[in-house]
Amino acid sequence: MNLLLIGPLTDKVIPLCGNCHSIKKAKIFKEFEKIISSPNLFKLSAEQIENFIKEAINDHPNYSSIKEYKRNVKVQIKKYIRKRFVYEQLFNGRCIGCGKITAYNNLPALELHHRTPEILEVKSTWSDLSNMDCEEIFRKTLKENCVCLCANCHTLTRSKLHSYCKEIFDNTNRD
């Protein structure tokens, strides 16, 4: 077998699936996952959650001193908390494709998928919705006929390969 090397072996490029890439690039999520994924988080009042976030940021060595950084980190944490809440309420916090990726084991990998994108002029993404209140997110997500897919399953829905699977695997004329 001949391998084509595109760059020197020192490049240290590690191929990752979409789900692994999502969690790898979600720095704020990883640093504050304990808060975002806290099982009892939604039993707290909004004020208690706010204080919980503020305390965690103040205690974090990377964010405790820079005011502008703190504000941005707080916004990002709240977006993840909002995403978790919405995905748990609407989709049981689970990818409907594989069922393996959940709001608890890889929240950053969960994405919205429009079942009927061809009838929509404008399709909302999570980044479009993440600053809205939860009621508005629920309304838009349901109106746009969205479901929850992990990054890998979402990629498969957009892939042309699945339309050729039967032909590829049923091919009896192999050499």
Q: Is position 139 within any domain?
A: yes
Q: Is position 129 within any domain?
A: yes
CA distances from 154 to 19, 23, 118 (A): 10, 15, 16
CB atoms under 10 Å from CB of 135, counted, come to: 8
| 151, two tokens | 């990054």
What one-letter code names the amino acid at 119? I
pTM: 0.82
Where would I find the H helices in 6-102?
18-24, 27-31, 33-36, 46-59, 67-91
Residue 166 has a pLDDT of 64
Q: How confident is the model at residue 2 (pLDDT cuts 50, 70, 90)?
A: very low
Q: Is position 100 within any domain?
A: yes
Q: How many domains does the chain have?
A: 1
Instruction: Give 17's contacts (C-beta < 8 A, 6+ positions apart).
Output: 151, 152
| Residue 54 domain boundaries | 23-36+45-160
Q: Is position 5 within any domain?
A: no
Q: Is position 88 within any domain?
A: yes
Q: Is position 123 within any domain?
A: yes
User: Which tens digits make up the pLDDT trace of 150-175?
Assistant: 999 999 888 877 666 666 566 555 44
User: Which tens digits make up the pLDDT trace of 103-141?
Assistant: 999 999 999 999 888 887 888 889 999 999 999 999 999
| 48, two tokens | 């208690």
Residue 1 has a pLDDT of 42
Q: Is position 3 within any domain?
A: no
Q: Is position 147 within any domain?
A: yes
